Amino acid sequence: MGVSFVRVYKANCNKLFLDNMVNENLVKDVVKEPYKYGFVTDIETEKIEKGLNEDIIKLISQKKEEPRFLLDFRLKAFKKWQKMKEPDWAALGYKKIDYQDIIYYSAPKQKEKISSLDEVDPKLLETFDKLGIPLTEQKKLTNVAVDAVFDSVSIATTFREELAKHGVIFCSISEAVKNHADLIEKYLGTVVPASDNYFAALNSAVFSDGSFVYIPKGVTCPMDLSSYFRINSGDTGQFERTLIIAEESSSVSYLEGCTAPMFDTNTLHAAVVELIALDDASIKYSTVQNWYAGDEEGVGGIFNFVTKRGKCLGKRSKISWSQVETGSAITWKYPSCLLLGEESVGEFYSVALTNNLQQADTGTKMIHIGPKTKSTIVSKGISAGNSKNSYRGLVKMGTKATGSRNYSQCDSMLIGDQASANTFPYIKSQQPNSEIEHEASTCRISEDQLFYLQSRGIEFEEAVSMMVSGFCRDVFNQLPMEFAAEADKLLALKLEGSVG
Amino acid sequence: MQSKMKESDPILEVENLSASTDNLPILKGVSLTVYPGEIHAIMGRNGCGKSTFSKIIAGHPSYTITNGEIKFLGENINSLEPEERSQSGIFLGFQYPIEIPGVSNLEFLRVSTNARRKFLNKEELDTFDFEELVKEKLEIVKMDQAFLSRSVNQGFSGGEKKRNEILQMALLEPKIAILDETDSGLDIDALRIVASGIKRISNAQTGIILITHYQRLLDEIKPNYVHVMSDGQIIKTGESDLALELEKKGYEWTDNFIKET
């Protein structure tokens, strides 16, 4: 009965549109802004030996003083992972990852128990300061609570007391394991089971830290919550785990930012994010991902293999993903929604920008299970340089999803003649009484558009950046205010010198 | 009157300009000088090089200047970028204004106006002050404020696009405006609005080059000189009555000039 089809759009532009138009000198003159966050913090770390086996997993669990159920969870995941094969279906090409050549736990050395921020190593505070995420009491961001994760561990979480007044729990997942073991045991792995995929299994086995959020019934979280992930060590993988639970009629907006230093080796990042929304709850999850992308020749950069999934468990619950993906050498990421509750809503708004030799295979899955569920997908892919940018999305209407609706819009923009964009929309419907709508377009910044803007006194680079922002506007409108401005700037920065 | 004008320095001097695209010669030695307060009309068949001429003055990167020079306010501008030309006071009104999806017209106009203001050492305007200014200018072209919140030229009718061009001219206050078939695709009312707008913006210090096929624009804006272009050259220059004669006799009549020269 099921209808299934795949459409593939391959857009290749043959005509060099920039070769004859760009004044060579202009482009050469444009000083390429180096990756701003490429510095390394010189700090003593506690690392375990390279490699992955049961003993390593036991060691991680032991270091974190975990309860038995979690060690079992890890070991089970590891067993599954050993039997799994690394997926190769994505439109990505990269050198095989040697999983035995990675350090699975690295933590900055500091005092055993930290009772206040004053005891955090100033070097760490300085690091986050430099990243624009001040943590100290005097300087911390006024309206956002931040959980700062450095390599494998959470360094600090701000505004905890303020949040506690509302019953909101916001802490590192390691702490949650200690203090809220019941919630962890109840929900961990229920949205992304360990056996879900290769990278999720790996994460389940070795995850070291991440953020935990619990919003109690009826509470609207009084401020945005934010995690900032920083990879510092070159040979350490980062495997963070985030779990957000929104009880009935609660709501929360969560932001995630990521950066890493520049190394000429590739660093693996395999995170798992699980969201759970109960009746009438809403979770908005926004990401600005700016991992180091490697240099112009494609040397170095983060391999970003992430499983993000939200479960709209309750009636009228809502999960909204918005992401701006600008970094990483490789991005493999499909933030998805399982729409179980009647009239639940899933949203995915994405801007993915690739430049130089970056590769991104990203999109979403909207699985409509309950009746009258609704999903919206707006994806904007921008490819510049020699990069490869693919949208891959699945919309599935289950047998019980009567009266459900999906709308998808996938737009690609090509800059230059060497970049490529693909759209792979998979649509599976087992429910005739549901609607799926898909629109796709590919455009190129045309010479005429650029000339028009330039002939009105607007500099070449600004003209490109104006058009790119315009292209992304539908998505930027979905981002929290301070993120939207940031995202705009980030895109302009990433594109500098790319046109030519 | 004529001689008085010539006492001041020319705004634009095009000297023996030749240009090509993809090694195909388009302009073959065009010379033209515009003094402050002058209005020039360039007429000629489709494909004679009129539009190319205007694009080259504005700095379109698809064309290569193979000979001659363009002087603006006494300076050679052959190698200036289009944005530098605009900032310094050269305006090209497009025959087919370009649509830019997603970019709001208001923001576009503001960034553009500020680029020019910066060049003139005038204070750049924030959104609030700019809105005041643009409201004033909208009146010149009888445009509704709703145009400002739409994407640049997107979904505009032909007439709306042309009025948006004149609005830009009003905001940028150029020293010289080259208007490429600004009258094409306009109904009579829109033509009057556009023509009166051009007249209001121009003054004794500015120069205008009108590229047109039709007398009706020239009825509204009387040119000092009319140039006939053919095969990349100006083959005849006269005063405003030349346009009338051309309308009567058609371009075939001008073919004789080529034979003569």
Residue of B nearest to A448 (CA): B98
Which tens digit of pLDDT belongs to each residue from A145-156? 777 777 666 666
Is B97 within 8 Å of A456 when comparing Cβ atoms?
Answer: no
Whether A303 and A269 have beta carbons less than 8 Å apart is answered as: yes
B104-121 average pLDDT score: 95
* pLDDT at position B208 over 70: yes
DSSP B145: T
Is A453 near chain B, with CB under 8 Å?
yes
Q: Which of A449, A458, A472 sits opposite B83 (nearest CB)?
A: A458
Is A451 within 8 Å of B111 when comparing Cβ atoms?
Answer: no
A53-70 average pLDDT score: 91
Q: What is the pLDDT of residue A325?
A: 85
Is B103 within 8 Å of A470 when comparing Cβ atoms?
Answer: yes
Q: What is the pLDDT of residue B170?
A: 95
Q: What H or E segment, with its residue span, contains residue B75? A: strand B75-76
* pLDDT at position A15 over 60: no
Q: What is the separation of C-alpha A222 from the centre of its chain, rounded to a whole number of angstroms? A: 24
Is A471 within 8 Å of B102 when comparing Cβ atoms?
Answer: yes
pLDDT category of residue A298 using cuts at 50, 70 and 90: confident
Whether A497 and A30 have beta carbons less than 8 Å apart is answered as: yes
3-state secondary structure chain A: CCEEEECCEEECCCCCCCCCCCCHHHHHHCCCCCCCCCCCCCCCEEECCCCCCHHHHHHHHHHCCCCHHHHHHHHHHHHHHHHCCCCCCCCCCCCCCCHHHCECCEEECCCCCCCCHHHCCHHHHHHHHHCCCCCCCCCCCCCEEEEEEECCEEEEECCHHHHHHCCCEEEEHHHHHHHCHHHHHHHCCCCCCCCCCHHHHHHHHHCCECEEEEECCCCECCCEEEEEEECCCCCECECEEEEEEECCCCEEEEEEEEECCCCCCEEEECCEEEEEECCCCEEEEEEEECCCCCCCCCCCEEEEEEEEEEEECCCCCEEEEEEEECCCCEEEECCEEEECCCCCEEEEEEEEEECCCCEEEEEEEEEECCCCCEEEEEEEEEECCCCEEEEEEEEEECCCCCCCEEEEEEEEEECCCCCEEEEEEEEEECCCCCEEEEEEEEEECCHHHHHHHHCCCCCHHHHHHHHHHHHHHHHHCCCCHHHHHHHHHHHHHHHCCCCC
pLDDT category of residue A316 using cuts at 50, 70 and 90: very high
Q: What is the pLDDT of residue A306?
A: 92
Q: What is the pLDDT of residue B110?
A: 96
**AA identity, residue A386:** N
Of A387, A381, A389, A496, nearest in space to A443 by CA: A381
Of A187 and A119, the structure prediction assigns the larger pLDDT to A187
Q: How far apart are CA B1 and CA B8, in angstroms?
A: 12
Which tens digit of pLDDT belongs to each residue from A214-256? 999 999 998 888 887 776 666 777 888 999 999 999 999 998 8
Whether B32 and B236 have beta carbons less than 8 Å apart is answered as: no
Of A210 and A432, the structure prediction assigns the larger pLDDT to A432
* pLDDT at position A6 over 70: no
Does the CA dihedral B205-B209-B212-B215 come out positive or negative? positive
Is B102 within 8 Å of A470 when comparing Cβ atoms?
Answer: yes
Polymer length of chain A: 500
Q: Which of A23, A462, A467 sits opposite B100 (nearest CB)?
A: A467
Lowest mean pLDDT among A188-197, A325-334, A341-350: A325-334
Residue numbers in B near A454 (CB within 8 A): 59, 81-83, 86
- Burial bucket for residue A235 (CB in 10 Å: 0-12, 13-18, 19+): middle
- Burial bucket for residue A243 (CB in 10 Å: 0-12, 13-18, 19+): buried
Q: What is the pLDDT of residue A33?
A: 45
Q: How far apart are CA A71 and CA A34, in angstroms?
A: 42
Q: Which of A21, A448, A459 sits opposite B98 (nearest CB)?
A: A448
Residue of A nearest to B98 (CA): A449
Is B115 within 8 Å of A456 when comparing Cβ atoms?
Answer: yes
Q: Which of A22, A448, A466 sits opposite B103 (nearest CB)?
A: A466
Is B119 within 8 Å of A448 when comparing Cβ atoms?
Answer: no
The share of chain B scoring above pLDDT 90, in percent, equals 77
Structure tokens, A181? 């073991």
Q: How far apart are CA A161 and CA A155, in angstroms?
A: 16
B199-227 average pLDDT score: 92
A455-471 average pLDDT score: 89
Q: How far apart are CA B208 and CA B221, in angstroms?
A: 10
Residue numbers in A near B178 (CB within 8 A): none
Q: What is the pLDDT of residue A9?
A: 25
* pLDDT at position A310 over 50: yes
* pLDDT at position B52 over 50: yes
Lowest mean pLDDT among A111-120, A386-395, B147-156: A111-120
Residue of B nearest to A454 (CA): B83
- The 3-state DSSP class for residue B31 equals strand
Q: A138: how many CB neighbours lie within 10 A of its CB?
A: 5
Q: What is the pLDDT of residue B237?
A: 93
A41-53 average pLDDT score: 78
Q: How far apart are CA A205 and CA A203, in angstroms?
A: 5
pLDDT category of residue A101 using cuts at 50, 70 and 90: confident
What are the two backbone dihedrals, phi and then psi, of residue B42, each rounded to the nearest 5 degrees? -115, 125
Which tens digit of pLDDT belongs to each residue from B158-194? 999 999 999 999 999 999 999 999 988 888 888 999 9
Distance from CA of B158 to the nearest CA of A (A): 17
Q: What is the pLDDT of residue A300?
A: 78
Helix axis angle for A460-476 and A481-495, nearest 10°, is 140
Distance from CA of B261 to the nearest CA of A (A): 35
Which tens digit of pLDDT belongs to each residue from A396-443? 999 999 999 999 999 999 887 888 898 999 999 999 999 999 998 888
DSSP B213: S
Distance from CA of A381 to the nearest CA of B (A): 15
Q: What is the pLDDT of residue A34?
A: 56
Which tens digit of pLDDT belongs to each residue from A79-91? 999 999 988 888 8
Q: How far apart are CA A232 and CA B171, in angstroms?
A: 51
- Burial bucket for residue A140 (CB in 10 Å: 0-12, 13-18, 19+): middle
Mean pLDDT rounded to a whole number for chain A: 81
> Residue holding tokens 């909207």?
A366
Of A469, A476, A482, A475, nearest in space to A133 by CA: A482
Q: Which residues of B touch A (CB under 8 A)?
A: 58-62, 81-83, 85-87, 92, 94, 97-104, 107-108, 111-112, 115-116, 119, 151, 168, 172
A331-360 average pLDDT score: 92
Polymer length of chain B: 261
Whether A363 and A336 have beta carbons less than 8 Å apart is answered as: no
Of A6, A27, A8, A26, nearest in space to A384 by CA: A27
Which tens digit of pLDDT belongs to each residue from A280-297? 999 999 888 777 777 777
Of A185 and A227, the structure prediction assigns the larger pLDDT to A185
Residue of A nearest to B107 (CA): A466
What was the ipTM of the complex prediction?
0.94
* pLDDT at position A7 over 60: no
Is B98 within 8 Å of A20 when comparing Cβ atoms?
Answer: no
Q: What H or E segment, with its residue span, contains residue B14? A: strand B12-21
**AA identity, residue B252:** E
Mean pLDDT rounded to a whole number for chain B: 91
Q: How far apart are CA A96 and CA A86, in angstroms?
A: 9
* pLDDT at position A51 over 70: yes
Of B132, B133, B135, B181, nearest in space to B158 by CA: B181
Structure tokens, A470? 């315009």
Q: What are the distances in angstroms from CA B161 to CA A84, A487, B145, B181?
A: 59, 31, 14, 12
Does this model's pTM top 0.95? no
For chains A and B, what is the number of CB pairs under 8 angstroms?
86
Is B100 within 8 Å of A455 when comparing Cβ atoms?
Answer: no
* pLDDT at position B117 over 70: yes
